[in-house]
Amino acid sequence: MAGHSRLAFLDRGLLAVSRLLKDTYVQWDLSSKKGLFQCFDPRLKLLFLIFFAVAISLKRDLFSEIVVMVMLLGFSLLSRLPLVAVYSRTIALGFVFGVLVSFPSACNVIVPGTVVFPLVTLTGSHDLLFYHIPRTIGFTREGLQLVALLSLRVVNSLTLCTLVLYTTPFPDLIKALRLFHLPSVVILIITLFHKYVFILACSLEEMHLSMKSRLMSSFTSAGARTWATDRMAYIYRKTHRTCEDVFGGMLSRGFTGEVRLTESAPLSRLNWIAGSALLALWFIVILL
């Protein structure tokens, strides 16, 4: 039974690797579909991400956040994103980092206000260090509005990032960072790192499946530790050898230490029109 639990632990690791590969493939597949945001230039989408992330953080009323949520939902529909997959993640994370984290602020001990859901009634009010404990302890209207506002901010921010990431190939998104005058070598390192993580995940999955196909009995604790240690050493050696091979290939093709990336094409008329429309939407959200 212990051997099966150790093997199940390795299987869970393989499941995490497989999920990484699946997410990478899904991101590539969605970014190649014909949709609204897939037609936009990556530089435009990067600016859209930054501008609207700032707008979401600045707004302090529920109505504006709801308007942004509806707008992002419309963009997701027009971009042909899987809404169930997108919003199941964003709402779950919004509940954890929005509702659960800020829920204590709904109590009038933290945020004073009009009590709408009383919980406990004491004999009188008390002062404890920096807190004033009122006679009636409960949830306030102002506190619940604050919890809802923070939750909507988290959901909208995650939806915004998902919309841009799922409609833009990762290499194109990295190249769009040149808009902020990042050094070309930094962009090249990030691109190579992303590619190697994908290669590493494939190698880990193949090694685990190969081991599992030859396994005739359950793993012992010592065997599991030995296998994991050997794989770590193998991955390290393979990484070092791959880096040397890649660098040697670059030198053989004339690399002299200067990184030159292809220049981005000028924005098309469609992107200028779309950028103007998105900028107008941003001003509307800011003025709400």
Count how many Cα atoms sit within 13 Å of the Cα of residue 56 in the half-sphere of its side chain.
24
Q: What type of residue sits at position 23?
A: D
Q: What's 220's DSSP letter?
A: P
Question: Where residue 79 falls among pLDDT bands split at 50, 70, 90?
Answer: confident
Whether the per-residue pLDDT at 52 is higher than 80: the answer is: yes
Whether the per-residue pLDDT at 17 is higher than 70: the answer is: no
Q: What type of residue sits at position 48?
A: F
pLDDT for position 249: 82
Domains of the chain by residue range? 15-181+264-287, 185-252
Rg (CA), the chain: 26
Any idea which of 39-53, 82-96, 247-261, 267-281 has the lowest mean pLDDT? 247-261
Question: Where residue 3 falls among pLDDT bands split at 50, 70, 90?
Answer: very low
Task: Compute the distance between CA of residue 200 and CA of residue 203 in angstroms, rounded to an integer.
Answer: 5
pLDDT for position 178: 76
Any idea which of 6-10, 41-45, 88-92, 147-151 has the lowest mean pLDDT? 6-10
pLDDT digits (tens, 9 = 90+) for 237-248: 877 887 788 778
Neighbours of 201 (CB within 10 A): 17
**Complete DSSP assignment for 4-47:** HHHHHHHHHHHHHHHHHHHHHHHHHHHHTS-STGGGS-HHHHHH
Instruction: Evaluate whether 137 touches 113 at the Cβ level (below 8 Å).
Output: no
The mean pLDDT of 28-54, rounded to a whole number, is 81
pTM: predicted TM-score of the whole model, two decimal places: 0.71
Any idea which of 10-19, 147-156, 271-280 has the lowest mean pLDDT? 10-19
Neighbours of 141 (CB within 10 A): 15
Question: Where residue 1 falls among pLDDT bands split at 50, 70, 90?
Answer: very low
Whether the per-residue pLDDT at 41 is higher than 60: the answer is: yes
Task: Compute the distance between CA of residue 8 and CA of residue 35 in angstroms, rounded to an integer.
Answer: 40
Using DSSP's 3-state secondary structure scheme, residue 132 falls into strand
pLDDT digits (tens, 9 = 90+) for 117-132: 777 777 766 666 666 6
Any idea which of 41-45, 98-102, 171-175, 204-208 has the lowest mean pLDDT? 204-208
Structure tokens at 155: 């959901």
Whether the per-residue pLDDT at 9 is higher than 60: the answer is: no
Residue bearing the bigger pLDDT, 250 or 126:
250
Any idea which of 57-71, 94-108, 195-209 has the lowest mean pLDDT? 195-209
Whether the per-residue pLDDT at 170 is higher than 50: the answer is: yes
Question: Where residue 2 falls among pLDDT bands split at 50, 70, 90?
Answer: very low
pLDDT digits (tens, 9 = 90+) for 223-235: 667 777 777 787 7
